[in-house]
């Protein structure tokens, strides 16, 4: 008589449990351990034809996780690259795309070159310095004079946005002369920049506009209170009439 159920020893079952700490490292954890085992099994197949069929099957399984991108050519290229990466570049199959290498994968991007400018008057910003450098290269004429005046007005506006006090035009002209290396000289000029009051009013209007966009509107409770009183008053009148 065949025994249908064989009782196992509890100690043996616990002893043969497989813990994650003892398992191999998952290269791309998003695909899970079962897919990683499939790739390991395909890598160990000796027959090249069977190994290629297994690789194509694994690609279909990987694509089924993202069915809306399964037939996109670029996504197929990405799947094949991930297949070789998950096999630790040991899978020897024919790929419709160039096979990536470990060296290319380990390359680090170049360090971004951030502008390291430390201007003396930081409230003007770097753009003002760029505009001044451009104005220095222009030939003398009406266009250059108009550009210099625009730069001076913008300098005054930037100054007042960070310093809430009034500023004389002579101070702006001195800073312009210093930042341009003495090439843009308005110290003896009779030009008048935009009025300080107008610039302060413009800066205040712009700051209020920016702050109002990020704050939710709060409805006042005055109307609600009035409506509540009106409803209670009508309710009392109806009770009296009854």
Question: And the tokens for 223?
Answer: 């109307």
> What is the pLDDT at residue 5?
60
DSSP label of 89: T
Q: CA–CA separation, 131 vs 123, rounded Å?
A: 15
> What is the pLDDT at residue 158?
85
Tell which residue, 48, 52, 41, 53, has the closest CA to residue 86.
41
CB atoms within 10 A of CB 100: 15
Asked if residues 138 and 147 have their Cβ atoms less than 8 Å apart, the reply is yes
> What is the pLDDT at residue 215?
55
Asked if residues 155 and 124 have their Cβ atoms less than 8 Å apart, the reply is yes
Sites in the chain below the pLDDT cut of 70: 1-16, 70-71, 115-118, 164, 200, 202-242
């Amino acid at each position: 008589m065949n025994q249908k159920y064989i009782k196992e020893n509890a100690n043996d079952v616990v002893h043969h449990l497989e813990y994650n700490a003892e398992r191999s490292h998952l290269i791309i954890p998003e695909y899970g351990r079962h897919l990683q085992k499939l790739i390991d099994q395909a890598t160990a197949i000796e027959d090249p034809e069977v190994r290629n069929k297994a690789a194509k099957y694994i690609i279909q399984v990987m694509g089924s996780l993202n069915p809306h991108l399964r037939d996109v050519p670029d996504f197929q290229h990405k799947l094949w690259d991930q297949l070789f990466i998950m096999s630790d570049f040991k899978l020897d199959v024919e790929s419709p795309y160039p096979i990536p290498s470990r060296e290319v994968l380990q390359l680090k991007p170049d360090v971004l070159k951030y502008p390291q400018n430390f201007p003396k008057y930081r409230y003007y910003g770097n753009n003002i310095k760029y505009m001044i450098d451009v104005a220095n290269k222009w030939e003398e004429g009406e266009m250059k004079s108009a550009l210099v005046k625009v730069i001076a007005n913008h300098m005054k506006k930037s100054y007042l946005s960070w310093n809430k006090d009034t500023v004389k035009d002579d101070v702006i002209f001195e800073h312009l002369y210093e930042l341009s290396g003495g090439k843009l000289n308005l110290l003896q000029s009779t030009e008048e920049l935009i009025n300080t009051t107008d610039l302060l009013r413009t800066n205040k209007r712009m700051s209020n506009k920016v702050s109002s966009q990020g704050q939710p509107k709060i409805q006042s409770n005055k109307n609600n209170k009035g409506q509540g009183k009106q409803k209670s008053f009508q309710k009392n009148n109806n009770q009296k009439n009854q």
